[in-house]
Amino acid sequence: MALHNRIDKRILKEKMQHSSEERITISFYKYHQLAEPKAFRDELYTLLDQLGVMGRIYVAHEGINAQISAPKANLDIFREKLYSIDFLNGVRLNIAVDDNGKSFFKLKILVRKKIVADGLDDTSFDVTQTGQHVNAADFNKLAENPNTIIIDMRNHYESEVGHFKGAVLPDVDTFREELQIAEDLLKDNKDKNLLMYCTGGIRCEKASAWMRHKGFNNVFQLNGGIIEYTRQVKNEGLENKFIGKNFVFDERLGERISEDIVSVCHQCGKACDTHTNCKNDGCHLLFIQCEECAGHFNGCCSDECKEIIAMPAEAQKELRKGINKGRQVFRKGRSEKIAFRKVNHQSSTIL
Ligand SMILES: [Zn+2]
Ligand SMILES: [Zn+2]
């Protein structure tokens, strides 16, 4: 059996969009020493493929980080099989908040050096000395304390569409940068309560240990991130302090948490929080686009890209030769082609 899916991406995507199968989007992670990540990867692929699971999973010597979707009909058996793996027994499954089940269209399991690209040398500090994990109720209490600084540990394009009220939102492209800037921004506040959060909690696991290592004395982290917070807020009838959308790294690109729209269309400037990728395959820029602009630009980020997608496929292919697409995608919303690209909103109001 092939342990990879080799069918064309477009075909798989199309199939997923038209499928009526009910699917649930789930994420989970676990830091755990794995002696043989490659062997574990192959076993896991076989197991999940049989259950019709799709998604993106990173496996490394330090553990596993998974974003997946599972057929609703197989949910119980999926949980049972997953929990039969010793180190994953009882792992928290973050269930997506605002889910159409169309989050992934194939299964990809990659062996990496790390499960989160944090750029940290893990031997230089004690990664087990994490901050204190807090639930939604405690997060709210801490957030109201004037001695608390809330910091968003995600990237600029994530916090742009949604964040906690009053949070510091570092204007960074990567988690690596985030750690440096967080340390720098907060260096005069080492005795305050540092309350950090991310999407599902995984980034805060290392970040909190890193900040403690850097001399921050009262570090707290939102357990299970924005996804678990939202679940608890709903279940327990708590006040929701998160405004806007939770950006997610799958086909949905975001989950609506509150009705507030905190960002603008990058092309016309009107209130909008719908992320999209430019339809020109040679560009693929991630940016925010309203429906009207999507119509006007045919889903592209600029007139230039709109002209390109009107060309015959062969000519487009010719144009793409030699272009490093990756570079463009990761400029996420910072392209000069975009009129309303985000202004630096590094929060200086709080500090
Ligand atoms: Zn617009
Ligand atoms: Zn474009």
198 included as an active-site residue: yes
Closest ligand to C-alpha of residue 282 is 2
pLDDT at 344 over 50: no
Could you tell me if 90 and 83 are in contact, meaning their C-beta atoms sit under 8 angstroms apart? yes
DSSP state of 346: -
Distance between Cα 10 and ligand 2 center (Å): 19
pLDDT at 12 over 90: no
Rounded to whole angstroms, the Cα distance separating 254 from 98 reads 8
CATH number corresponding to 9-111: 3.30.70.100
Strands 23-31 and 94-95 come out as: antiparallel
| Nearest-10 Cα torsion for 321, 327, 328, 330 | 150
Taking phi over 0 as left and psi of -120 to 50 as alpha, with beta for the rest, 284 belongs to left
Q: Tell me which of 117-126, 160-169, 262-271 is least confident.
A: 117-126
Closest ligand to C-alpha of residue 293 is 1
User: What is the average pLDDT score of the chain?
Assistant: 91
List the chain domain ranges: 9-111, 132-236
Q: Is 205 helix (H, G, I), strand (E, B) or coil?
A: helix
Distance between Cα 281 and ligand 2 center (Å): 8
Rounded to whole angstroms, the Cα distance separating 78 from 54 reads 12
- Express each pLDDT in 205-250 by its tens digit: 999 999 999 999 999 999 999 999 999 999 999 999 999 999 999 9
Q: Give percent of the chain with pLDDT exceeding 70.
A: 93
Closest ligand to C-alpha of residue 338 is 2
* Per annotation, catalytic residue among 198, 204, 290, 305: 198
Closest ligand to C-alpha of residue 309 is 2
Distance between Cα 339 and ligand 1 center (Å): 10
Distance between Cα 172 and ligand 2 center (Å): 21
CATH number corresponding to 132-236: 3.40.250.10
Distance between Cα 56 and ligand 2 center (Å): 25
Q: Which one has a higher pLDDT value, 321 or 278? A: 278
**pLDDT average, residue stretch 298-308:** 95
- Express each pLDDT in 66-93 by its tens digit: 999 999 999 999 999 999 999 999 999 9
Rounded to a whole number of angstroms, the CA Rg of the chain reads 21
Confidence of residue 347 (pLDDT cuts 50, 70, 90): very low
229 closest CA partner among 139, 153, 150: 139
Distance between Cα 265 and ligand 1 center (Å): 5
Could you tell me if 37 and 60 are in contact, meaning their C-beta atoms sit under 8 angstroms apart? yes
